[in-house]
Amino acid sequence: MKFIDEAKIYVKAGDGGKGCVSFRREKYVPRGGPNGGDGGKGGDVVIRTSRNYSTLLHLKFNQHHVAKPGSNGEGSNRTGRNGKDVKIVVPVGTIIKDVETNAVLTDLTQNGQTYVIARGGIGGRGNARFTTSTNRAPRYAQDGIKGEEEWINLELKLLADVGIIGFPNGGKSTLISRISAAKPKIADYPFTTLTPNLGVVKCGDFESFVIADIPGLIQGAHLGMGLGIKFLRHIERTSLLLHIIDISKDSYTNAWEDFEAINNELARFNSSLMGKKQIVAINKIDLPVTRERLKKEMKFFEKKKITVFPISAVTGEGVNDLIYEIAKNIKLHKEQKL
């Protein structure tokens, strides 16, 4: 399934039905009087979240959502039928924004959460409603009120506990495929991952947590280089970040430089990301070149008071210790939140 995390749609609630102008015309009833009923209410446009959806693909090419209008009122004081609501289903984590102002209208983070984005118009009152002591036979009724309408933007932010960050080809996809049932595309060239991947990880007695593999970043990502900032918003909801560093590449200078470069891109995109706890892992220790450089790099990070986890996503070496550390920090984060 193609991953689509943005969609622009038009919503239009139903108009209210017209009130009715009617008079009683019954045999042997000399003074009938008005009996025009009210118009029905127009249908609402309701947005509802569901875990059965993980992308906005079904809305990308289905832009117009129009609810039914209310029926007109009828004689004998009969109220018109209400218009049928239109329900739009979106993934959990969808943000609704106004197209013109870009203001956030609501943030849907719970499964089954609903939001009325456009309210149907109220039906007009029939002439029976306007009877007074001085106006016994009103010959007018109200038109229904127009339903609300607008263009809105839908943006999906994945709900994950952990976001994996790092340069392309660092082994992020290999790691998530080892620790979860996720099956991302894995290859030996940059930008293999073109869309975020989610995996569920279980560690001992800890609660299961969701981990997100974000497409690799490069310097200048905040300006749109590489895959740019297109997927960075998916780590804004995470509890912590897992920073994967690869020191086996030919362009290697030092791990700290890579660490600083990625963090610089995060800070320029959203400074609040720098407040998230980061767990650092040096990957590909199964390679001799990484083994040679590892000791020096770990000493440098120790001076910065940062713990580094040496791992091999291919062989699984060191991965259990890393997962335990992640699970422990997620539990601590949830306890602090409570």
Listed by start position, the domains of the chain span 6-156, 162-337
Q: Would you say residue 260 has pLDDT above 60?
A: yes
Residue 225 corresponds to which tokens in the numbers above? 């280089």
Q: Would you say residue 39 has pLDDT above 60?
A: yes
Under the banding of pLDDT at 50, 70 and 90, the label for residue 238 is confident
Q: Would you say residue 28 has pLDDT above 80?
A: no
Q: Would you say residue 233 has pLDDT above 80?
A: no
Predicted confidence at residue 54, as pLDDT, reads: 81
Cα–Cα distance between 185 and 208 in angstroms, integer?
23
Burial grade of 156 (CB within 10 A; 0-12, 13-18, 19 or more): buried
Cα–Cα distance between 175 and 317 in angstroms, integer?
11
Give mean pLDDT, residues 151-175.
87
Give mean pLDDT, residues 40-57.
93
Q: Would you say residue 125 has pLDDT above 50?
A: yes
Give mean pLDDT, residues 158-177.
85
Q: Please say whether the beta carbons of 160 and 91 come within 8 A.
A: no
Under the banding of pLDDT at 50, 70 and 90, the label for residue 272 is confident
Q: Please indicate whether the domains covering 6-156 and 162-337 agree at the CATH topology level.
A: no
130 vs 237, more confident = 130
Does domain 162-337 correspond to CATH entry 3.40.50.300?
yes
The neighbour count for residue 316, using CB atoms within 10 Å, is: 13
The neighbour count for residue 249, using CB atoms within 10 Å, is: 14
Q: Please say whether the beta carbons of 210 and 221 come within 8 A.
A: no
Which range has the worst mean pLDDT, 4-18, 79-93, 172-186, 280-294?
Answer: 172-186
206: amino acid identity, one letter: F
179: amino acid identity, one letter: I
Q: Compute CA distances 299 → 98, 105, 215, 244, 307, whole Å.
A: 50, 48, 29, 17, 10
Highest mean pLDDT among 101-110, 187-196, 209-218: 101-110
Predicted confidence at residue 189, as pLDDT, reads: 42
Q: Judge if pTM exceeds 0.85.
A: no
Q: What CATH homologous superfamily does 6-156 map to?
A: GTP1/OBG domain (2.70.210.12)
Chain-wide mean pLDDT for the chain?
87
